[in-house]
Structure 1
Amino acid sequence: MGRYVRYLFTAIYFVFLSTSTAQTIDGEEKSVLKEFQDTDQPAQRFQVFFNSLDRYNVNSAYDWLDTIKIYLANSEKTEDTIASRLYQIMQAQVYNDLGEYDKSTVLAKELMDAKDSFDVAYQKVILDVLDDNYANLQLYDKQIEVREEKRELGITENVAFYDIYSNLGLYREAWQQYAQEVKPTIADNDSYGLAKYHTKMGNYLRLDDSAPTALKELNKAKGYLNVYLNDVSIQNSESDIFEAELLKARIDGGIAKCHVELGEYETAIPLLEKSIEVLKTSASNADQSEVVENSLFLAEANLQEDAFSKAKTILDMEFDNISVLQTIKRNSLLAAYYDKIESYKNAAAYYKRNERIEDSLAEKQSTIIKQQLVTIVANKNLQNSQRMIDEQKRNIELIRSDMKAKDERINLVFISLIFTLLGFAGLVYAYLKSIKNQRLIAEQKHIIENSLVEKDSLLKEIHHRVKNNLQMVSSLLSLQTKNTRSKAAIVALEEGKSRVKAMALIHQKLYQNDDLSVIEMQGYIESLINSVQSVYKKGGHNISITIDAEGTELDIDRAIPFGLILNELVSNSFKYAFPENDENGKIYIHLRKNGDQGYFEYTDNGVGLPEDTDERSHSSMGIRLINRLVNQLQSKLNVDRNVEGVRFWFNFS
């Protein structure tokens, strides 16, 4: 019975939608600007402006700007300060909608200087405009300041940082933080909230080159949205239905883009066309950027399906506020189009355009963005560490004050007893002194134990942060590798990334251990070998690796040099020891430490070292690094070339 009722309501909804559409076609579409002009009070005009579903449905943003300027001038003539500021907020939003982010930012900052004259709701609107401006201007450090200010005002909406990670291209960090911060806030029965959550998760996963997983997330989002739209117990307003249709278009666009990346172009094309048609009705800058993105994917799908004229028509369209990366993609698609129709001169022209844009990006944007990221992360860690230290100091001061007060009270008791009980002074004093000492010892022991626990936790947190920062450096090196054409530079960056990972692994093992003073080397070496294999042997390998370090523990001062030495030796074996066939390849690693004396040995049965190794050691970064690290361990590296392959060994203390 419930299923038939749901079908009945669905049919009524579509009849209503068809009737509304027919009325819109038969009559003139209602102008939001006309409604704005017919309203008398500035506060009511403000509500019409920001609450309209599509304020640019009939009149352009320039029409709105001219109208708002007239009202602003009139309010300034009558010295109506409140009205003037409301019109300035609307003017800042229109500049933002037009893509004139600098003008919008200047105006919004002037308004924030007078924020005390606004209530929190108006301040939120201004901060939202500034937030979007800084995002489009790629001033992510300023964007974080805006969100911190929102938190101080008690505004909890849109104050996370996952979208900033996404803008920087760190999509894995973005979806991890999004899942951590947003998922716990969504109720199990909130179908619409779950649809939005899985949509964003799917988009982040697709951007992180995980199209199959992203497709699963986006299909989940579509399922939750269908539940929301078909739930007859929910009374949806016109605005709710419009937003749901926009979300459905975003989901369809995301699913289609996954299909394009998976080579399923025929499935993607109708979804992209439908998504573009709906998203064009939105006034949101993000949705208009999505229209551009979906159009480029649609052109790509048509090119792959040999529908050249359709693809060219899409690529020749004029897009508002197209980003630099989207421009690069459009140029690439135009070059591919001309390649397919054998107009190689035109194709070469578009390839050259992209080279100039990418060179400019490499010089002007990439370094700035990465510096901002490092600064943001460093500042965050510094602030958190300082807060923890300040809090610990306050706790220690409170404990000291409490102990001092107790001492003063006990001393007063003793003085009173001495003056009132002279006959029992010696015995009572000795007895009470003993009790006091035991209590003080117990309290001090408790304080020391708590302090040790806090210090261990803080030390683990520091190692964790160091590991995260080293991983961030590794991510930055990966980003730089993608923007580098020189093979030598790429090799150097990859080697640098491998060394950073070796150090990060040390700190990871430390904060995972109960004992923070030493590292168990057998597990560390196994993890390090797996890390190096993932770089040089992506598809698997046949080299047999034997690790004999069971029960050996080293402190961090020795573990880091050992990690870097092993990283260099294993990397060299993978790269050079087995150039033709690794079927019978063997690597043996032996590490022992008895008391103050230790022994390390590394052997492989590869082709061995070349004859000019001694000469190369002065120019080879790897060999020089190994020698310096061995010297740091107050030892000397020995090389045995008489065995099959090569053998390195040294003693250390």
Structure 2
Amino acid sequence: MGRYLKRIFSALFFVFLLNVSAQSIGNEEESALKEFQDTNGPSNRFDVFFNSIDRYNVNSAYDWLDTIKIYLSNSQKTNDTIATRLYKVMQTQVYNDLGEYDKSIALAKELYAAKDSLDSSSKKIVLDVLDDNYSNLKLYDKQIEIRKEKRELGLTENVAFYDIYSNLGLYRKARNQYIMEVKPTIADNDSYGLAKYHSKVGNYLRLDNSAPTALSELKKAKAYLDVFLNDISKPKTEEQLFESDLLKAEIEGNIGKCHVLLNEYEDAIPLLQNSIEVLTTSSKNFHKSEVIENTLNLADANLQLERFSAAKKSLNIDFENINTLQNIKRNSLLAAYYDKVENFKNAATYYKRNEKIKDSLTQTQSSIIKQQLVTIVANEDLENSQRLIDEQKQINELARSEMKAKDERINLVFISLIFTLLGFAGLVYAYLKSIKNQRLIAEQKHIIENALVEKDSLLKEIHHRVKNNLQMVSSLLSLQTKNTRSKAAIEALEEGKSRVKAMALIHQKLYQNDDLSVIEMQGYIESLINSVQSVYKKGGHNISITIDAEGTELDIDRAIPFGLILNELVSNSFKYAFPENDENGKIYIHLRKNGEQGYFEYTDNGVGLPEDTEERTHSSMGIRLMNRLVNQLQSKLNIDKASEGVRFWFNFN
């Protein structure tokens, strides 16, 4: 039994030695503090401290502080003033990293009081630390003084205000100034610079509650960063890769926060988790604040998805250097959490904490921030001072108590209700007025329609009377025929009677039509031929007549000349074309009108015209009449003689 125990203890001791050895090797490879301690000379240690990519990867800032204090004490004992200054500069940075801003400021001021003894690198570090300290303490007027000092020393070309505007909540102003100052300085092929630029613009848009637009800018930033990382033609240092990872984590964190604003919680969670994991490795205070923001948003997303344990785990983290607004948000989320799990007593506790913080914030910070705004504006642009102060007033108003905000919402609802009622009354008035106008229009339309019906009735009555009058003329000609013995006179009277009937038929067709402006010519021609056949009872009944005028319509000014021309042609065919036998007689009538152009053709296969037709043209009543009628149509009558029959044709408009 003892032998087995001895073997077990030996194995455990061997495993322990391996773990200690591996940990020791890992620490030697990764610990920046050990490299710092192994380096000889304060100047070299200064370079290791400020050039280390992640000096707090293994050892905390407190470990660094203890080590630097030992070296500082030794240099003071040996009266090594150069080494003392260098270690104090490092100590100033560590206090800043720890969030002990007052200590950092005091030490930095002490160093800068003897700035003539500092080299340019140390001066820049001290001023940068002071800048960051004043920013974290919200002493923006002091921060501006430091930036002006850096410009006077040639450490920076101009004084930028956009980050100060952002800290004051003037995100649109910050974005506009950032775009104006930074965009022109970035080359088109600088992928990393463009990634930082779009990341910054996207974050300002997110802070300004423009999440959809911010998401577009942040995705552009991520795309440019991917181009930079995938460009193998440009070698990258370890520091560049580390900074790229931090920038990527910033971008992903801001994209995650946009998804939270858009209620897309499932999309937000993995991005926020990855961002928190990477940014935790950074020593920058800005990244520490981002870790807090991302953690609070992660808690919010899990809370909305009712993953209460995950949300509570995030909210239970004891953050260092959490600012007032973040504390307010954390309390709100804790109150919401306890509301959801029905622990209303704890929820009320956190609501009350927020009320106290908000009241204190409003009372203590309003006058200070207003004074700092005036200082900022005086340095940048005096004419915008009142507008900036007004904008800050709006920001301060947002920090009032929830009860007052609720009262304002009630007032807003009441005012909205009044405007809604006024709008509804306006709509009712407009509707009633519209009904009245529609009634007037309907009455006017009815009057116009009645007038048109009456006009159509009158026109039909006129055409009916004209037709009756022409029939009376035809009857008088018939009576005259019976009282006349001269064969030539009878024929002349019959021809006149036929012409009168052709005109009467036009007026009959018009008053029978619904449309009084045009006459359908196919039906008219058929009726006209029947009328001519009734006059010439002895001939024309065996003749085959083809009429091709389907769909053609003419107005009365053209229809009457056409009727008279056709009357003459058909009458002549019946009388003269088939003197012996009309059984094989054929007549073809063609009439077409396309738009403004028209065409008329009349043919028969009779005996044709006599040889002296041209001489008889001037003496023949029928041909002279047709020529005049064709002239009325602004055309010319064409006559073609064939071996059998004759062809009359003309074009018209």
Q: TM-score range by the shorter chain?
A: 0.5 to 0.7
Given residue 223 of structure 2, which amino acid in structure 1 is its aligned partner? Answer: G
1:486 deviation in Å? 9.1
Q: Deviations over 1:578-618 (max 9, x none)?
A: 486443799xxxxxxxxxxxxxxxxxxxxxxxxxxxxxxxx
Structure 1 residue aligned with 2:391: 475
Structure 1 residue aligned with 2:544: none
Contact 2:358/2:401 (CA < 8 Å) preserved in 1?
no
1:73 deviation in Å? 1.3
Q: Deviations over 1:152-180 (max 9, x none)?
A: 11122784110000000110101010000
Contact 1:484/1:490 (CA < 8 Å) preserved in 2?
no
Contact 1:192/1:228 (CA < 8 Å) preserved in 2?
yes
Structure 2 residue aligned with 1:354: 354
Give the 3 Å change call, closer, same or farther, for CA 44–28 of structure 1 in structure 2.
Answer: closer
Q: Deviations over 1:424-456 (max 9, x none)?
A: xxxxxxxxxxxxxxxxxxxxxxxxxxxxxxxxx
Give the 3 Å change call, closer, same or farther, for CA 213–576 of structure 1 in structure 2.
Answer: closer
Contact 1:300/1:333 (CA < 8 Å) preserved in 2?
yes
Contact 2:192/2:225 (CA < 8 Å) preserved in 1?
yes
Structure 1 residue aligned with 2:134: 134
Q: Deviations over 1:28-74 (max 9, x none)?
A: 64211111111111111101001111111121111111111111111
The answer to whether 1:47 aligns with 2:47 is: yes
Unaligned stretches of 5+ in structure 2?
1-21, 431-653
Contact 1:370/1:476 (CA < 8 Å) preserved in 2?
yes
Structure 2 residue aligned with 1:259: 259
Alpha-carbon separation, structure 2, partners of 1:489 and 1:88: 49
1:488 deviation in Å? 8.6
Q: Normalising to structure 2: TM-score of the pair?
A: 0.59
Contact 1:536/1:575 (CA < 8 Å) preserved in 2?
no
Alpha-carbon separation, structure 2, partners of 1:179 and 1:377: 19
1:194 deviation in Å? 0.3
Contact 2:370/2:389 (CA < 8 Å) preserved in 1?
no
* RMSD after superposition: 3.0
Alpha-carbon separation, structure 2, partners of 1:575 and 1:367: 37
Given residue 105 of structure 1, which amino acid in structure 2 is its aligned partner? Answer: I
Structure 2 residue aligned with 1:100: 100
Alpha-carbon separation, structure 2, partners of 1:76 and 1:118: 17
Alpha-carbon separation, structure 1, partners of 2:27 and 2:319: 29
Structure 1 residue aligned with 2:176: 176
1:207 deviation in Å? 0.3
1:283 deviation in Å? 1.1
Alpha-carbon separation, structure 1, partners of 2:407 and 2:385: 22
**1:247-396 to 2 correspondences below 5 Å:** 247-381=247-381
**1:113-262 to 2 correspondences below 5 Å:** 113-156=113-156, 159-262=159-262
Give the 3 Å change call, closer, same or farther, for CA 488–250 of structure 1 in structure 2.
Answer: closer
Structure 1 residue aligned with 2:400: 484
Q: Deviations over 1:205-234 (max 9, x none)?
A: 000010000000000000000000000111
**1:575-590 to 2 correspondences below 5 Å:** 578=422, 581-583=425-427
Alpha-carbon separation, structure 2, partners of 1:271 and 1:82: 46
Q: Normalising to structure 1: TM-score of the pair?
A: 0.59
Give the 3 Å change call, closer, same or farther, for CA 491–235 of structure 1 in structure 2.
Answer: same
1:237 deviation in Å? 1.0
Q: Deviations over 1:280-323 (max 9, x none)?
A: 11111111111111011000000011100110111111112111
Give the 3 Å change call, closer, same or farther, for CA 486–355 of structure 1 in structure 2.
Answer: closer
Contact 1:315/1:334 (CA < 8 Å) preserved in 2?
yes
Alpha-carbon separation, structure 2, partners of 1:470 and 1:91: 41
1:144 deviation in Å? 0.2
Give the 3 Å change call, closer, same or farther, for CA 177–128 of structure 1 in structure 2.
Answer: same
Query: Which of structures 1 and 2 has the bigger CA Rg?
Result: 2
Alpha-carbon separation, structure 2, partners of 1:99 and 1:57: 18
Given residue 477 of structure 1, which amino acid in structure 2 is its aligned partner? Answer: K
Given residue 196 of structure 2, which amino acid in structure 1 is its aligned partner? Answer: K
Structure 2 residue aligned with 1:556: none
SS at match of 2:318: coil
**1:563-582 to 2 correspondences below 5 Å:** 578=422, 581-582=425-426
Q: Deviations over 1:600-639 (max 9, x none)?
A: xxxxxxxxxxxxxxxxxxxxxxxxxxxxxxxxxxxxxxxx
Contact 2:151/2:158 (CA < 8 Å) preserved in 1?
no
SS at match of 1:55: coil
Alpha-carbon separation, structure 2, partners of 1:583 and 1:378: 51
Unaligned stretches of 5+ in structure 1?
1-21, 383-464, 496-534, 542-573, 587-653
SS at match of 2:235: coil
Give the 3 Å change call, closer, same or farther, for CA 487–350 of structure 1 in structure 2.
Answer: closer
1:275 deviation in Å? 0.9
Query: Higher mean Cα deviation, 314-323 or 94-103?
Result: 314-323
SS at match of 1:583: helix
Given residue 300 of structure 1, which amino acid in structure 2 is its aligned partner? Answer: D
Query: Higher mean Cα deviation, 337-346 or 477-486?
Result: 477-486
Alpha-carbon separation, structure 1, partners of 2:386 and 2:162: 19
Q: How many residues align?
A: 408
Contact 1:31/1:57 (CA < 8 Å) preserved in 2?
yes
Alpha-carbon separation, structure 2, partners of 1:126 and 1:221: 31
Contact 2:172/2:204 (CA < 8 Å) preserved in 1?
yes
SS at match of 2:337: helix
Given residue 231 of structure 1, which amino acid in structure 2 is its aligned partner? Answer: D
1:378 deviation in Å? 3.1
**1:629-640 to 2 correspondences below 5 Å:** none
**1:466-545 to 2 correspondences below 5 Å:** 468-485=384-401
Contact 1:481/1:490 (CA < 8 Å) preserved in 2?
no
Alpha-carbon separation, structure 2, partners of 1:323 and 1:212: 27
1:24 deviation in Å? 11
Contact 1:29/1:58 (CA < 8 Å) preserved in 2?
no
Alpha-carbon separation, structure 1, partners of 2:415 and 2:73: 66
1:119 deviation in Å? 2.1
SS at match of 1:218: helix
Give the 3 Å change call, closer, same or farther, for CA 584–85 of structure 1 in structure 2.
Answer: farther
Structure 2 residue aligned with 1:71: 71
Alpha-carbon separation, structure 2, partners of 1:180 and 1:584: 51
Alpha-carbon separation, structure 2, partners of 1:536 and 1:178: 38
1:23 deviation in Å? 11
Alpha-carbon separation, structure 2, partners of 1:585 and 1:136: 60
Q: Deviations over 1:530-566 (max 9, x none)?
A: xxxxx99999x9xxxxxxxxxxxxxxxxxxxxxxxxx
Given residue 295 of structure 2, which amino acid in structure 1 is its aligned partner? Answer: S
1:25 deviation in Å? 9.4
Alpha-carbon separation, structure 2, partners of 1:24 and 1:270: 33
SS at match of 1:376: helix
Alpha-carbon separation, structure 2, partners of 1:584 and 1:487: 37
1:148 deviation in Å? 0.4
